[in-house]
Amino acid sequence: MSYSKRSREENDLDSRAHHVKKTREAFHPKRSDGVLNNTQYDSQKKSGKGLDVDIHPLLRASTLSAPTIQTDQSEFKRKKWFDPGAYNPYINHTKTISTHRPKPLKFNQQGKYVQQGQKLRERLKEEEEERKRHQELESRGLIPDVSLNEESYQPSYPPLMEWWDRPYLRDNNYSKIDDISRRILDNENMPVTSYIQHPVLIQPIWVGTKQSDITPMFLTKQERKRMRKNDRQIRHKEMQDRIKLGLDPPPEPKVKLSNLMNVLTNEAIRDPTAVENRVKQQVEERLRKHLADNEARKLTKEEKHAKIYAKQEQDLAKGIHTTVYKVNSLDNPQHSFKVDINAKQDNLFGICLKNPNFNLIIVEGGEKSINHYKKLLMNRIKWNEVAASGKSGNDPSGISSEVNSRSTFNEHGNDNECSIIWEGKLPKLNFQKWSFMYSRNDEEAINVLKKFGLENYWRLAKSK
């Protein structure tokens, strides 16, 4: 026995047909004369195999009326078969009217959104002005402090005249304060008299020497190389443009022995020896011209000194610096020579005061010159070195110089040193030049420094 597979649609159709059939049989039972009497029913009851239950009185009636549905025939069409789903007590079968109304088509007025944007910008502008006004009041300290409950205080208006100004003005307001005739200055009871001295304001040192220009940014080696390359490219491009416009003649080809055959092909084939000699002459001429240009660009000895002097003067214009050194001994002629010649080369002003007790060096000048001189005295000069025999003094035999050097070494030994007493900035120069001076005792040294108003340097150096 084989079973065939049925589709779901076929099963649904069969179940629906069976349900319709059962419903028809319930409302329209089969009968011969339209009436079921008790005898027939009893005979059927006895012969049948159903339950022993009496039939419903409605089924015994001659006319059976099925519940009808109040429908509008114009709205619903009668179907060929009975649809039990047409009547459902849980569904409202009354006709409903849709309350949806479509919105009418409206066009925006011209300039509507422009006006909205203008209003928005005006509102933002007012908010920005209000914010700035609030910040200004807050910076001036006019915003009340909420923690102190200052917003509840009533602000008071300033008076027409302050009480401390009443003795000095003839009016009760400040409207004519610029008029000298309205002031009271000749009263005997005036608290301000000519006996009060107002000190003269002294400008700080750094105000006159402050650099107004911006310090240029330091470029790395790669950045400087790139800038030079860009400048060369710009110059080469300008030269090419002038050649294209016919303003300058085109340059001759740069012929070398390596590119001889590529540049002068035909001539080199005809007479290679003559072409080679001509190319060598051109190479020598280019080298000679290059060396001559370098020599022309070199500065002369006077120009070098002038350039160095200009830089030192420019450094001095930025600010005057000073340093005071104390040296135990300057008996070594080499030390004295280095101290003297470097001060002159650095364009420094000051004095080197030699004394049997110790030596005082005061230098004034630009910052760079002072730093260079400071490195010389503190690092480069070896103060414990003794002059070599026969190298110093006027004695050709060198005997006296050897004796002096030995006495110097025995007297000071390894204690000879250089120390900084004071350093800082000055409003003006105290010396007009660099000079060497000698003194025999402390009194003479103080008298020498007193001429420049710097005698305190000697006392300070002696205390150390």
Q: Which residues contact 454 (CB under 8 A, 6 or more apart)?
A: 362, 430
Cβ neighbours, 10 Å, residue 422? 14
For 37-87, what is each residue's pLDDT tens digit?
454 545 455 455 556 667 767 666 555 555 555 555 544 455 555 555 566
DSSP one-letter code for 382: -
The runs of H, that is alpha helices, within 382-450 are: 399-412, 442-450
Q: Three-class SS of residue 452?
A: coil
Q: How many Å is the maximal CA-CA distance in the chain? A: 182
Task: Give the pLDDT confidence score for residue 406 in this predicted structure.
Answer: 44
Q: Which two tokens stand for residue 239?
A: 């030269």
Nearest by Cα to 34 from 56, 67, 59, 65: 59
Beta bridge partners of 296: none
Residue ranges in the chain whose pLDDT is less than 50 = 1-4, 32-37, 39, 41, 43, 46, 74-76, 390-410
Residue ranges of the chain assigned to CATH 3.30.70.100: 320-383+415-463
Distance CA 281, CA 271 (A): 16
DSSP one-letter code for 379: I
Task: Give the pLDDT confidence score for residue 99 in this predicted structure.
Answer: 81
Residue at token pair 């004095």: 351
For the purposes of burial, counting CB atoms within 10 Å of the CB of 239, is it exposed (0-12), middle (13-18) or buried (19 or more)?
A: middle
Task: Give the pLDDT confidence score for residue 401 in this predicted structure.
Answer: 45
- Matching CATH number, 320-383+415-463, of 3.30.70.100, 3.40.50.20, 3.10.180.10, 3.50.50.60: 3.30.70.100
For 340-362, what is each residue's pLDDT tens digit?
999 999 999 999 999 999 999 99
Task: Give the pLDDT confidence score for residue 83 in this predicted structure.
Answer: 59
